[in-house]
């Protein structure tokens, strides 16, 4: 089989890249190790920056996100038992975010890919990458007991943190940066009305909590738990009681509980691999970087990466030049590190660390008090939360 771009991974990055390349007339094939249902079964975050919405529109798949997504103009910070609203819309000259689950983004991208008749090879494993340091890279994979090979011009490694793409790069060609946080997020998805119409980020002496949603009838809640905690340690009642204990009186009163559709613990990590290009192999999304979910940047960074990558490949195939591809890694990493900083800062501000103690809690509360009463500080939070603009090549 031959194609112009072989994409490894059918998560948001791979699917969005495939759609953007298709719209640009660039042939592509996606190789995914799981089934489509397995990919759709992943419950992930759900806040889309305008940059991501614009890329979904460019890919021709923004209709449902626009129709069903919830536009949000602000968030609330809860500390010392009181909520303070950050008016992101007002502070950023009218920008907003859209609350729309990553699962739905993936579903929309899968549907568009199928409608366009584009090839996605599911249940392909193992997958291996070859000769991407030359001009004729190849992808090899096993499926149904047979070995298959794809000849291509470029390989897009969109296969996430645990994927084969970054692992295929010689160790001395890669520099990684990592910070593992001493806690995780115990998350619950439930068909109960959200406690508030905007997201509530809570800093409490018991630890962090987040009240989010997927729709007017489906809520997403998180509480910080120790990194070695297990989901089986948490009954539904124990979760709801702990969430209540971390809310303000009004939210506690309004909280509607129910049997979770999903309950899981996610670890928190910051990670960046540099560079994001190795000859004809280009990394995008979680394959190249991970952020703690506090700033809701994971999906948005993946979208921005593939926005840059599809543009660079379009410039290359139009015979204009390879200069955009040469700039791909630097351009992505400039934005990635700003999002890493914001996500680290927001995580550090909102969570209780083993060494936070009473003094550390007072310092966090003082910073939050300054943040919500300073126009400059609130503006900084708002412009990072709604997302920084993409740069031109
Ligand atoms: N071969 C083929 N496919 C693979 C391999 C492999 N060796 N390893 C992983 N994959 C697939 C996974 O099954 C998954 O479907 O690659 C896909 C990677 O998708 P994600 O992990 O979702 O990463 P990405 O597309 O970059 O999206 C980032 O997803 O994980 C969240 O928080 C993250 O919101 C962010 C977004
Ligand atoms: C979510 O709705 O899952 C969500 C929202 C905001 C975050 C993280 C997760 O910062």
Closest C-alpha to ligand 2, atom 1: 45
Report d(CA 9, CA 36) in Å as an integer: 11
How far, in Å, is the centroid of ligand 2 from the Cα of 369? 23
Catalytic residues: 72, 201, 293, 297, 385
How far, in Å, is the centroid of ligand 2 from the Cα of 164? 27
Task: Check if the beta carbon of residue 70 is closer than 8 Å to that of residue 184.
Answer: no
For ligand 1, pick from 30, 163, 166, 287 the residue to mutate: most ligand atoms within 8 Å of CB.
Answer: 163
Residues in the chain: 393
For ligand 2, pick from 42, 187, 222, 385 the residue to mutate: most ligand atoms within 8 Å of CB.
Answer: 222
For ligand 1, pick from 102, 159, 168 the residue to mutate: most ligand atoms within 8 Å of CB.
Answer: 159
Position 281 scores a pLDDT of 98
For the CA of 299, the closest atom of ligand 1 is 34
Query: What is the residue-level pLDDT of the chain in tens, covering all 393 positions?
Result: 999 999 999 999 999 999 999 999 999 999 999 999 999 988 888 899 999 999 999 999 999 999 999 999 999 999 999 999 999 999 999 999 999 999 999 999 999 999 999 999 999 999 999 999 999 999 999 999 999 999 999 999 999 999 999 999 999 999 999 999 999 999 999 999 999 999 999 999 999 999 999 999 999 999 999 999 999 999 999 999 999 999 999 999 999 999 999 999 999 999 999 999 999 999 999 999 999 999 999 999 999 999 999 999 999 999 878 999 999 999 999 999 999 999 999 999 999 999 999 999 999 999 999 999 999 999 999 999 999 999 988
How far, in Å, is the centroid of ligand 2 from the Cα of 295? 8
For the CA of 287, the closest atom of ligand 1 is 26
For the CA of 13, the closest atom of ligand 1 is 25
Cis-peptide into 73, omega within 30 deg? no
For the CA of 294, the closest atom of ligand 2 is 10
Question: Does ligand 2 come within 6 angstroms of the Cβ of 280?
Answer: no
Closest C-alpha to ligand 2, atom 3: 45
CB under 8 Å to 172, separation ≥6 — which residues?
none
CB under 8 Å to 88, separation ≥6 — which residues?
72, 73, 74, 75, 95, 96, 97, 382, 385, 386
**The CATH fold of domain 5-71+99-177+269-350:** FAD/NAD(P)-binding domain (3.50.50)
Position 180 scores a pLDDT of 98
- State the virtual CA torsion across 351, 339, 6, 18 in degrees, nearest 10: 100
Of 390, 277, 389, 295, whose CA–CA distance to 341 is shortest?
A: 295
Ligand of minimum distance to the alpha carbon of 12: 1
Position 45 scores a pLDDT of 85
Three-class SS of the chain? CECCEEEECCCHHHHHHHHHHHHCCCCEEEECCCCHHHHHCCCCCCEECHHHHHHHHHCCCCHHHHHHCEEECCEEEEECCEEEEECHHHHCCCCCEEECCHHHHHHHHHHHHHHCCCCEECCCCCEEEECCCCCCCEEEEEECCEEEEEECCEEEECCCCCCHHHHCCCHHHCEEEEEEEEEEEEEEEECCCCCCCCEEEEECCCCCEEEEECCCCCEEEEEEEECCCCHHHCCHHHHHHHHHHCCCHHHHHHCCCCCCCEEEEEEEEEEEEECCEECCEEECHHHCEECCHHHCCHHHHHHHHHHHHHHHHHHHHCCCCCHHHHHHHHHHHHHHHHHHHHHHHHHHHHCCCCCCHHHHHHHHHHHHHHHHHCHHHHHHHHHHHHCCCCCCC
Question: Does ligand 2 come within 6 angstroms of the Cβ of 292?
Answer: no
How far, in Å, is the centroid of ligand 2 from the Cα of 215? 13
Question: Does ligand 2 come within 6 angstroms of the Cβ of 17?
Answer: no
Q: Which residues line ligand 1 (CB under 6 A)?
A: 8-14, 31-34, 39, 44-45, 102, 127, 158-160, 162-164, 285-286, 298-299, 302
Ligand of minimum distance to the alpha carbon of 304: 1
Question: Does ligand 2 come within 6 angstroms of the Cβ of 101?
Answer: no
Report d(CA 352, CA 355) in Å as an integer: 8
Ligand of minimum distance to the alpha carbon of 215: 2
- C-alpha 339 chain-centroid distance: 11
How far, in Å, is the centroid of ligand 1 from the Cα of 123? 14
Instruction: Quote the Cα angle for 171-337-71, to 5°.
Output: 130
Position 363 scores a pLDDT of 97
Ligand of minimum distance to the alpha carbon of 106: 1
Position 393 scores a pLDDT of 83
How far, in Å, is the centroid of ligand 1 from the Cα of 11? 5
């Amino acid at each position: 089989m031959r194609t112009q771009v072989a994409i490894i991974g059918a998560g948001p990055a791979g699917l969005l890249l495939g759609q953007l390349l298709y719209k640009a007339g660039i042939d592509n094939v996606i190789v995914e190790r799981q089934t489509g249902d397995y990919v759709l079964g992943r419950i992930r975050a759900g806040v889309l920056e305008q940059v991501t919405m614009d890329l979904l529109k460019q890919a021709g798949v923004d209709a449902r996100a626009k129709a069903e997504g919830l536009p949000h103009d602000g968030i609330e910070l809860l500390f010392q038992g009181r909520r303070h609203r950050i008016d992101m819309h007002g502070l950023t000259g009218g920008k907003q975010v859209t609350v729309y689950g990553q699962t739905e983004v993936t579903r929309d991208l899968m549907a568009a890919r199928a409608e366009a008749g584009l090839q996605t090879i599911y249940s392909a494993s193992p997958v291996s990458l070859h000769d991407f340091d030359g001009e004729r890279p190849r992808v090899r994979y096993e499926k149904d007991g047979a070995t298959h090979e794809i000849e291509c011009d470029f390989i897009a490694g969109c296969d996430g943190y645990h994927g084969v793409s970054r692992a295929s790069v010689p160790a001395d060609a890669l520099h990684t940066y990592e910070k593992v946080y001493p806690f995780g997020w115990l998350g619950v998805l439930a068909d109960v009305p959200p406690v508030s119409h905007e997201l509530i980020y809570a800093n409490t002496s018991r630890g962090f909590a987040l009240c989010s949603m997927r729709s007017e009838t489906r809520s997403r809640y998180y509480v910080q738990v120790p990194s070695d905690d297990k989901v089986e340690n948490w009954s539904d009642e124990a979760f709801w009681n702990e969430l209540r204990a971390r809310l303000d009186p009004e939210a506690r009163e309004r909280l509607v509980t129910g049997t979770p559709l999903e309950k899981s613990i996610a670890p928190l990590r910051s990670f960046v691999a540099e560079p994001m290009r190795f000859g004809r192999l280009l990394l995008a999304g979680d394959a190249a970087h991970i952020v703690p979910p506090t700033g809701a940047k994971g999906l948005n960074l993946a979208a921005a990466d593939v926005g840059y990558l599809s543009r660079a490949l379009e410039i290359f195939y139009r015979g204009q030049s390879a200069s955009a591809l040469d700039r791909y890694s630097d351009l992505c990493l400039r934005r990635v590190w700003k999002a890493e900083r914001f996500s680290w800062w927001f995580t550090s501000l909102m969570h209780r660390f083993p060494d936070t103690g009473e003094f550390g809690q007072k310092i966090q509360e003082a910073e939050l008090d300054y943040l919500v009463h300073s126009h400059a500080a609130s503006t900084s939070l708002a412009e990072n939360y709604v997302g920084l603009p993409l740069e031109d090549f």
